[in-house]
Chain A
Amino acid sequence: MSFYEVIRFALRGLSANKLRSALTMLGILIGVAAVILLVAVGNGSAKAISDRIEALGTNTITVMSTGRGGSSSTALTVPIANALVDPGLAPDVASVSPVVTASASTMTYEGSEHSVSSFVGTTPTWFGASNTPVGTGAAFTADDEAQGRRVVVIGQTVVEELFPGVDPIDKQVTVGGALFTVVGVLAQKSSTGFQDANDTAVAPLSAVREVLTGYGSLNSILVQAKSPDKVDAVQSEVATILNQRLKVSATTTATANGGSSTPYRIQNASQLLATQTETADTFTTLLGAVAAISLLVGGIGITNIMLVTVTERTREIGIRKALGAPRRVILTQFLIEATLLSVLGGALGVAAALIGSSFEIVGVKPVIVPSSIGLALGVSIAIGLFFGGLPASRAARLRPIDALRYE
């Protein structure tokens, strides 16, 4: 009896029980698809985080003060920021943008109110350095900053809240009791974190300090390097200047990044990236573990159905043996049935996962991990084969009369 014939027998066996075959495949499908999709979601969120950090600009460093409202000698100030623009000491610095941030400042326009989660006061170089392009209108200019003009560039969320269906350019909004003229709208930014990256407004540093934050210290200084590979050089140049200005002893400079002994902290986007990727990897592992459990449960389902299928057909095996079917043929038939079920179910599961991954799931665009496909398929097929094959070989070994009498 040829192998082709045995395959036809297996197909006939499967089609004789269409509903059960379909349900078995559905079980495998769900198990496989769940594993692939969950891992893809974990991976996708990791990718989204790293993309977002990369969007911040990998050629910038951020200097932040570690002294919380402490003595003025350790605070970051505008003169310190200006000192960083020094072609002699810091030849690789492209631009320096001092930043003050006012959180939750209320902006009103014609009676509607919106609390802007991040109101940034800075210089025009910030737009380029922080990778925040202006969509419509224009950014404010260095002249606006120098004159302290009250102009503002607002994010998309603010536009939606305050100007539904209205062009916001040249409209006047009130912030902290002062009128600001909207000169531009920021381009839509992808926000994947908990904070809405579009719920923001950017105004000249001088204006924000005058109206909202006062003339205290800066929140941070964004320093842009001339190219991404100069970031490390810029970091040490900035550290040198800051140590000079803030009178930090040279021995502590080695631990300048985030070290607790310095009054400032230099954050480098690539370091941030490494930390965040680590976090995301943990997340992926967690999701993978959940998925593995669902695969295990799916596997037990497959096991159960295979056992029932074969046990229920012990009598049929007896009939076939009585008609002269050799043990090998019976075993092959049931093995092929099990293989077809698990392979087809697995393949459909992969297809379902691939289709599912083209949609956003809880705000995350899943990114398929190829190895998860192999793993999920492999496990489901192995389970199907083992638990389809084991009872089949037991039944095929029975004497026909015992198989026929089986109830």
Chain B
Amino acid sequence: MTPRPVLDVRDLTKVYGTGEATVHALAGVSLTVERGDYVAIMGSSGSGKSTLMNILGALDVPTAGSYHLDGVDVSKLADRQLALARNRLIGFIFQAFNLIPRTTAVANVELPLAYAGVKPKERRRRAMAALDVVGLADRAKHEPNQLSGGQQQRVAVARALVTEPALLLADEPTGNLDSHSTADVLEVFDELSAAGRTIVLITHEPEVGDRTKRLIRLVDGQIVEDTRQSALDRRPVGATTGRHTA
């Protein structure tokens, strides 16, 4: 039996504007990501990688094409179910961290759980566990403006993985960070990947792309290269045991 892919997109297109000003941000992207994979999508600016990311994160809707996330056809969901899909299936990490201002780290991490209807006590326990994974359990009571960029991004990672989503999406997670913080965050990603998490990230930094198991290059809204790399160049193992915390 073949395991169900986490991510399965077919002929995805996204068109901005009309008439003369039409821009084809995505011109037919097909992509399958198996459970436990660690994928980097690279491309120059304007290649459509951010558009792809937003569609994969169910933040934006494609113009055409199908998108199955963990077996669910996301393109056919109504607003209510879409909110549920964002909450349960996807953990999204933004380039700009996007923590809620003036709210403690632990409260930020708890937020997706609150929307999922988890009881406060259980919520606090799981949020603290997630912060522990990213190594920030001792900063739980700090507000975002009291944390460094790297720490903020690690809080955002904790927030993304606290609901145990099928897929972690990261939109240039190290784009706003210095090299030291970048290393911290990438280390967290490596650990998560080793623990069997499925991660898709976009980046334009080669040293970030080099650490992943699979590298996809996007040019003008189309995939031009899709390679498995280095010693990790193999089908991911432990696909069925993927969902457990580190």
Residues of chain A having any CB pair with chain B under 8 Å? 1-2, 5, 9, 12, 16-17, 315-316, 318-327, 329, 399-401, 404
The digit string for B85-106, where 1 denotes a CB below 8 A from any CB of A, is 1111000101000111111000
B100 touches A324 (CB 8 A): no
In the complex, which of the residues B57, B99, B112, B115 has the most CB atoms of chain A within 10 Å of its own CB atom?
A: B115
Contacts A1-B114, A5-B114, A9-B114 hold; do A322 and B60 have CB atoms under 8 A apart? no
A329 CA to B59 CA in the complex, in Å? 17
Closest to A324 in B: B87
Q: Are B103 and A322 in touch, CB under 8 angstroms?
A: no
How far, in Å, is B61 (CB) from chain A's closest CB?
7
* Beyond A316-B101, A326-B79, 9 additional pairs, beta carbon < 8 A: A321-B83, A322-B57, A322-B94, A323-B92, A323-B112, A323-B159, A324-B83, A399-B60, A404-B59
In whole Å, how far is B106's beta carbon from the nearest beta carbon of chain A?
Answer: 13
Which of these, A16, A315, A323, contacts B103 with CB under 8 Å?
Answer: A16
Q: How far is the CB of A282 from chain B (nearest CB, A)?
A: 51
Residues of the A chain whose Cβ atoms lie less than 8 Å from the Cβ of B86: 321-324, 400
Residues of B within 8 A of A399 (CB): 59-61
Is B77 an interface residue when CB atoms closer than 8 A count as contact?
A: no
**Residues of A contacting B115 in the complex (Cβ-Cβ under 8 angstroms):** 1, 320, 323-326, 329
Chain A neighbourhood of B57, CB < 8 A: 322
Cα-based distance from A75 to B159 in the complex (angstroms): 98
In the complex, whether B84 has a CB less than 8 A from a CB of chain A is yes
**Does B117 belong to the interface (CB within 8 Å)?**
yes
Contact of A316 among B79, B100, B107 (CB under 8 A): B100
CB distance from B165 to the nearest CB of A (A): 10
Query: Could you list some 8 contacts between A and B, CB below 8 A?
Result: A12-B103, A315-B98, A322-B86, A322-B98, A323-B112, A324-B83, A324-B116, A327-B79
Report whether A325 and B83 are in contact in the complex, using a CB–CB cutoff of 8 Å: yes
Shortest CB-to-CB span from A243 to chain B, Å, is: 85
**B176 adjacent to chain A (CB < 8 Å):** no
Report the minimum CB–CB distance from A316 to chain B (whole Å).
Answer: 6
A-contacting residues of B (Cβ < 8 Å)?
54, 57, 59-61, 79-80, 83-88, 92, 94, 98-103, 107, 111-112, 114-117, 159, 163
Tell me the bound Cα distance from A290 to B107 in angstroms.
Answer: 47
Closest Cβ of chain B to A399, distance in Å, is 6
Contacts of B107 in A (CB 8 A): 12
Q: A91 to nearest B CB, angstroms?
A: 84
CA distance A311 to B163 in the complex (A): 29
Cα A326 to Cα B78 in complex, Å, equals: 11
A16 in contact with B102 (CB, 8 Å): yes
Least CB distance, B207 to chain A, in whole angstroms: 27
Q: Is the CB of A323 within 8 A of B59?
A: no
**A307 to B23 alpha-carbon distance, docked (Å):** 34
Which of B59, B60, B79, B85 has most chain A Cβ within 10 Å? B59
A2 CA to B159 CA, complexed, in Å = 21
Instruction: Looking at the assembled complex, report how far the CB atom of A322 sits from the nearest CB atom of chain B, in whole angstroms.
Output: 5
Closest residue of chain A to B163, judged by CB? A324
- Contact assessment for A319 and B100 in the assembled complex, using a CB-CB cutoff below 8 Å: yes
Inter-chain contacts of B116 with A (CB < 8 A): 324
Give the Cβ gap from B57 to chain A, nearest Cβ, in Å.
Answer: 7
Residues of A within 8 A of B85 (CB): 324
Q: A16-B101, A327-B83 known; A320 and B60 CB under 8 Å? A: no
With known contacts A12-B107, A319-B100, A401–B59 Cβ distance under 8 A: yes
> How long is the Cα–Cα vector from A399 to B86 in the complex, in angstroms?
12
* A12-B107, A316-B101, A404-B98 as given contacts; A326 in contact with B80, CB under 8 Å: yes
Question: In chain A, what residue has the closest Cβ to B90?
Answer: A324
The winner among A9, A329, A401, A404 for most chain B CB atoms within 10 A is: A401
A12 to B107, CA, bound (A): 10
Q: A5-B114, A326-B80 are in contact. Are A400 and B59 (CB under 8 A)?
A: yes
* Residue in B60, B80, B86, B114 whose Cβ sees the most chain A Cβ within 10 Å: B114
B residues near A12, Cβ cutoff 8 Å: 103, 107
Identity of the chain B residue whose Cβ is nearest the Cβ of A17 in the assembled complex: B102
Task: Determine if A1 and B117 form an interchain contact, defined as CB atoms under 8 angstroms apart.
Answer: yes
Residues of chain B within 8 A of A324, CB atoms compared: 83-88, 112, 115-116, 163
Q: Which chain B positions have C-beta within 8 A of A17?
A: 102
Q: How far is the CA of A320 from the CA of B107 in the complex (A)?
A: 13
Q: Which B residues are in CB contact (< 8 Å) with A325?
A: 83, 87, 115
CB distance from B42 to the nearest CB of A (A): 21
A324 to B79, CA, bound (A): 10
Q: CB distance A319 to B61 under 8 Å?
A: no
CA–CA, A401 and B16, complex, Å? 14
Q: What are the residues of chain A within 8 A of B100 when measuring CB–CB?
A: 316, 319-320
Provide the residues of chain A in CB contact with B99, threshold 8 Å.
319
Chain A min CB distance to B25 (Å): 12
B98 close to A319 (CB less than 8 A): yes
- Per the bound structure, the CA–CA distance linking A1 and B163 in Å amounts to 15
Shortest Cβ gap from A16 to chain B (Å): 4
